[in-house]
Structure 1
Amino acid sequence: MTPDEIAQIFTRSDGHYLFARWGRPIAPIVFGVNDATLSVVKGAFEAVCALARHQMAETDPELGANVMVFFFRDWAELLEVPDLDRLIDGLEPLVGRLQAAEANQYRVFRFDTQGAIRACFIFLRMDRDLSAVPAETLALNQVVQAMLLWSDLAFRDRSPLGQVEGGQVILRPEIGELIRAAYDPVLPAVAQDASHALRLAARMSVARQ
């Protein structure tokens, strides 16, 4: 990926460059699935964290779990989750907007005082489209999009995943390289200047060599 391509993937629709990665170990919890799917989702977190060389944890000392993944059939079900309205500001109007848009997924990030990611809430309404996606593919896609604060336009036209011969779905190599570079300790956890993309490109180049 060129520096311009990297900059584009972190430039939001308002034209503002904004990059953030996790500033603490990731401690996920999954609601609304059976044990088999739970294992798939947690396996995806483990694989992507290993790629990024970022730590996972059983619990977060502040929140208990700092990634919450919800699988459900209707957005209204979120209004019945105890105390979720305390974690998600404006939950009721948000649910109304998502219902009106007939959305099937949504992510909410929370940040620490430095701007690094401290929590992520992933909501998946299992409509016909999402239900047709294999669990491994769905889990990997969601975990990748939770690892960094990507632009809201980043994957609108092209998924972070790709398909190889035989039909297996994998993380696109350039996206994998970018995630690993993003978690390089020499780089900041938060950046708001597009020159940061030059540093990401340089780390990707070093890693390839």
Structure 2
Amino acid sequence: MDQMSPEAITALFTRASGDYVFARWGRPIVPVVFGVDDTTLSTVKGAIEAVVALAGHKMAETDPELGANLMVFFLRDWAELLEVPNLGRLLDGLAPLVARLQEAGANQYRVFRFDASGAIKAAFVFVRMDGALAEVPAATLALSQAVQVIVLWSDAAFQQASPLGLVEGVAVLRPEIAAVIRAAYDPVLPAAAQEASHGLRLAARAGRQA
């Protein structure tokens, strides 16, 4: 397996601002998916289950505080978000956010919420099925979104290279990224960190899996 250097792993959680920010889920994940047919729904939930299992984390039927804590929306136009009942109560500044996404021509966006310890307690995933994403197989798109929501990656983490690779034409999670995800959920490590030394600890654990 290709091993990532400690510097490369640290960079996965170093934001464009230069700040190191890491967080993993602190509670079982309860997903709900909007805007897809039953077949695609099964594909998306299956991808989330697979990545959660890889991490050694848990899923649940309901979150006692939020009901569902991972909400995934597939839509054709960002304006559709303004029509989702009660979404504006869950996301402050929804209208300005929609305006920014429209102006940027974005096709995906993620919002995380954190508990008092800094661990992830909820996430919202928005995917606008523009021309580019409409060509992507559902299984590939689902796996990509599941990977990008299992931990709080840097805003620049996958700009140069996708977390996925192809094996005989099928999209799979790159083994070195899988190793980082497993290391991120090592119970010895904290659920949240803002010191770059955490990246070195991650690298040490990911390296043991090679």
State whether TM-score is above 0.5. Answer: yes
* Alignment-derived partner of residue 179 in structure 2: 177
SS in 2 for 1:95: helix
SS in 1 for 2:209: helix
Alignment of 1:127-206 (within 5 A): 127-164=130-167, 166-206=168-208
* Alignment-derived partner of residue 15 in structure 1: 18
Q: After the TM superposition, which parts of structure 1 deviate over 6 Å for at least 4 consecutive aligned residues?
A: none
* Alignment-derived partner of residue 99 in structure 2: 96
The RMSD of aligned alpha carbons is 0.7
* Alignment-derived partner of residue 33 in structure 2: 30
1:7 maps to a residue whose letter is T
Structure 1 residue 67: deviation in Å? 0.3
Query: C-alpha separation between the residues in 2 aligned to 1:207 and 1:103?
Result: 36
Structure 1 residue 205: deviation in Å? 2.5
Aligned pair count reads: 207
Query: C-alpha separation between the residues in 2 aligned to 1:11 and 1:205?
Result: 19
Identity of aligned residues (%): 69
Question: Unmatched 5+ residue regions in structure 1?
Answer: none
SS in 2 for 1:17: coil
Alpha-carbon deviations, 1:170-208, whole Å to 9, x = none? Answer: 000000000000001011101111111111111122333
* Alignment-derived partner of residue 55 in structure 2: 52
Query: C-alpha separation between the residues in 2 aligned to 1:127 and 1:200?
Result: 35
Alpha-carbon deviations, 1:24-71, whole Å to 9, x = none? Answer: 000000001000000000000110011001000111111110000001
Query: C-alpha separation between the residues in 2 aligned to 1:101 and 1:206?
Result: 41
Structure 1 residue 2: deviation in Å? 1.4
Query: C-alpha separation between the residues in 1 aligned to 2:134 and 2:110?
Result: 18
Structure 2 length normalisation: TM-score? 0.97
Query: C-alpha separation between the residues in 2 aligned to 1:68 and 1:184?
Result: 25
